[in-house]
Structure 1
Amino acid sequence: MLASLPITAHAQCGGASWYALHSKTASGERMNPAAMTAAHRNLPFGTRVKVVNRNNGRSVTVRINDRGPFVRGRILDLSKAAAERLGFLRAGHTPVCLEVVG
């Protein structure tokens, strides 16, 4: 398992997983599995981050709208659509790096 690295210069590497809720996110939005969104422990809501799957090089930009993940070694929980674009939907988790882009 990859260890989570601290955020430095708006970049971070660690594990990511995907999730789908049938309720509201911590920001108050209803969870939309088809949206390009993610949960992060402490980045402000609305922050846009570029996420790169370290296994296959695919990338996607998502907006932070929830809190989490709450699993050791993971730095991001992504929406189902974002996980699909990154190519790890079936695996459930993957190593990623993220960079704040806005």
Structure 2
Amino acid sequence: MKYSILIIMALVFCTNIVLAQNKVQIKYTDSSKIVYGKASFYSRSLDGSRTAIGTKFSHEKMTGASNFFKLRSWVRVTRLATGKSIIVYINDRMPSYMAKKGRAIDLSRKAAGKLGFLHLGLTKVKVEEVFNDTEH
């Protein structure tokens, strides 16, 4: 009986750790929002499809899809494993299930390549707004 309670407590603790790793963390500063989560990149099949702002998606542009920043925002994406960062334009939205799985941003292949994670598929990132076109 004593061991079964310990096993149950250990399972609950480990489950909470796994779930916490899949969540997006949002922090607010005086001037901006910072989002921690995972980055992925668009499927090749989406090249040429319409984005949420009405433009055609291209893997050759430095763009991204995010549900955490306004459309037409410029954001800095920093790969936490290497400290490498890039600036991308938010021109699309992700499917909501991706955000629930801990995705902070979905990048073009060019952007993912510059961050160096094409071979991985996913990487942990920090995303912070640099400029918002809708405010000007």
TM-score normalised by length of structure 1: 0.92
- Which sections of structure 1, spanning at least 5 residues, go unmatched? none
Matched AA of 1:78 = L
1:19 partnered with 2:42: yes
Identify which of structures 1 and 2 has the higher relative contact order when contacts are C-alpha pairs closer than 8 Å and 6+ apart. Answer: 1
Aligned to 2:24: 4
Out of 79-88 and 16-25, give the one that drifted further.
Answer: 16-25
Question: Number of residues paired by the alignment?
Answer: 102
Identity %: 37
CA deviations on 1:63-83 (whole Å, 9 max, x unpaired) are: 100001532111100010000
Q: Counting helix residues as a fraction of each chain, which structure ranks higher?
A: 2
1:56 partnered with 2:85: no
* The one of 54, 76, 84 aligned to 1:28: 54
| Runs of 4+ residues deviating >6 angstroms | none
Larger radius of gyration: 2
CA deviations on 1:15-74 (whole Å, 9 max, x unpaired) are: 110014131111111001010100011422110000000111111000100001532111
SS of the equivalent of 2:126 reads strand
Shift of 1:3: 2.2
Question: Alpha carbon RMSD of aligned pairs, Å?
Answer: 1.4
1:82 partnered with 2:111: yes
